[in-house]
Structures are given as structure tokens and as C-alpha cells.
Amino acid sequence: MIKVENLTKRYAGQAAIQDLNFEVGKGEIMGFLGPNGAGKSTTMRILSSFMPPTSGRASIAGFDIFEQSLQARAHLGYMPENVPLYNDMRVTEYLNYRAALKGVPSRRVAERVGDVKELCGLKEVERKIIGALSKGYRQRVGLADALVHEPDLLILDEPTSGLDPNQIRQVRDLIKNLGKQHTILLSTHILPEVEMTCSRVIIINRGRIEACDTPENLLGQIRTAGGVVVEAKIGNDDGAEELKKIAGVRDVTASTDGDWQVFALRVEANTDVREEVYRLASERHWTLRELSQRRATLEDVFVEITHPDQV
């Protein structure tokens, strides 16, 4: 659905993105991750034909974004960052206008606009002036606009930025549902969102793709796959030293909580040391209060890839 080859964009000599190569297949929900200024919005703006690349090619649904820009745009629903909208129009009026502009046949405009209003929960504000809407509703208007012409592909630039947790959940569910019929490329820096919604993830940093895989595989790749938390009464033993001897434990940080000792173990990828910890505790007659594994999250992956020095 999207094919990107050696895409590069320079601003005044500085590369915003460099030699990007990736593909998004039909029906995928691709997450685009990266710190601010990594080149996410630049890539999306190029894909949506808003600005041309300095070099490289990209195509959408088989149409070159530069040479067949109009056809490419017709297959695309794009929601820009911060959702710029005409503040002086009413919601329905705006969506009608956008539908006509995107070539929805006149007789189907009312039906399509009705559908997307329903889907995005805009029924109760349909007659309101857009300028008077809250951030959450503006975001939904932007999403409704992106959907109104039934595009094959949705490109959503930070669809949940600036929303409260409930709204984030609603938008996330909506995106998940949309993923059943549409191919989606979405950017975000809210990581749990990606883990929950995306089938594949691209991590981009300083204009380059650092990783591109399924969330599960990315979690498997990183050096510090989560850790184990142990809380125990250990008498006079040097708990940290003993725990470090267990195979697979990379290092241990100890702290106290009243009489209890709390150890945070960092372990190697794909190892489970809990059984060993339990055996050690029962040998030494430690009283265990907690023995739990903390799963690595995409946050760990993200931090490791984008700031390797801090790991």
C-alpha cells in the first residue's frame, strides 16, 4: 500500500530524513515512533504529497506521490498534526465540503458524512462551529475528514496528542476498528498505544530508521528485557551478592522498605530467573513477600534505541 525507497528530505542542507526505506502492506497498522524532531511529520507530509522529497521515491496504492499525485491523494486520508480546520465553519458543513472536494459523488455525500459523524461520535456537535469545539472533538473532526471518502490508506499524525486518557482510549479503539478495513500509518510518542494497536512498528531517530518489526520481536531484541522485583526479609545475608550469582542476572539494585529488602534485578533477554530466586530464598530461609517479573515495554525498546547511552 505504501512503498518508500531512499526517501530523503533536506531543509537548508540539514537532512530531516535520510534514505528511508519501508513498505506497508494492505491491512497493516503501522506505528511510526520517534522522539520529537526525528522526522515523523516530515515523512508523513511527503507521503501525503504536501511537500516533495529532496530525493527518493514513494508510492501509495501503486501511484507515485510525485508524478501521479492526484490519484495518490485520492486513495489517502490524511490527518495532519494539530488538526488544522476552518474555525468558522460548522461541523457538518465542513465535512460536506471536504467530501465534495475529495470527489465523493454528490448523491453519496450526505450518507458518507452521516456515517463518519456516527463513527467518530460527532452527532452531538454536528451543528456547532468548529472554532468552539474542544481539542478532543477537533481531533475527531479531523479523523472524520480523513475517513469521509473511504480511502484505502489512512495517515494519522499524532492522532491522540493533547487528548485526555478517556479520549485517548476512544480514539485508540476507533483506530483499532478502522484497521479492519483500512491500512493505517500512524505516528505517536505514546508507546502503550502502539503496543496495543499496531501490527508493526518503525522506530525513527534523527531521520533514520533504527528498527522496523512487530512489537513482540522488538521486545525480544533488546538487551534488557524487563526485570524481576524481589521483596524479602533476608536477615544478615548480603542479598544483592547472592542474587547476582544467579545465571542470567545482569545487575541488582537494592533498597529497603521498612524491615523488607527490595531488589530490582535486571535480567538478560528471554530468561526467567524467578524459579532460581525462589530456590535461593528457600535455601537461605528468606521470607518472600513479592517475586514478580516486569515485562519489557516498547518504552524500553524506544529508550534503548533512541538514547543508547542512558541504558
Q: Shortest Cβ distance from residue 183 to another protein (Å)?
A: 17
Q: Is 17 helix (H, G, I), strand (E, B) or coil?
A: strand
**Binding residues for another protein (CB under 8 A):** 11, 45, 48-52, 70-71, 73-74, 76, 78, 80, 82, 84-89, 97-98, 100-103, 106, 142, 145
Q: In one letter, which amino acid is 98?
A: R
**Nearest approach, Cβ of 57 to another protein (angstroms)?**
16
Q: Are 194 and 164 in contact (CB under 8 A)?
A: no
Q: Which three cell numbers stand for residue 9?
A: 528530505
- Looking at the Cβ atoms of 98 and 200, the one nearer to another protein is 98
Q: 210: closest CA among 17, 5, 25, 79?
A: 17
For residue 85, give the amino acid letter. Answer: L
Q: How many residues would you count in the chain?
A: 311
Q: How near is the Cβ of 123 to another protein at its closest, in Å?
A: 22
DSSP 3-state of 118:
helix
How many Å apart are CA 26 and CA 179, to the nearest integer? 10
Instruction: Tell me which H or E stretch contains 111.
Output: helix 106-119
Min CB(151)–another protein separation in Å? 10
Which one, 184 or 191, has the nearer CB to another protein?
184
Nearer to another protein, 74 or 119 (CB): 74
Q: Which one, 150 or 213, has the nearer CB to another protein?
A: 150
**Least CB distance to another protein at residue 167 (A):** 21
Strand 224-233 vs strand 260-268: parallel, antiparallel, or unpaired?
Answer: antiparallel
Q: Which candidate, 58, 130, 62, places its Cα nearest to that of 91?
A: 130
In the bound state with another protein, the residue whose beta carbon lies nearer, of 50 and 260, is: 50
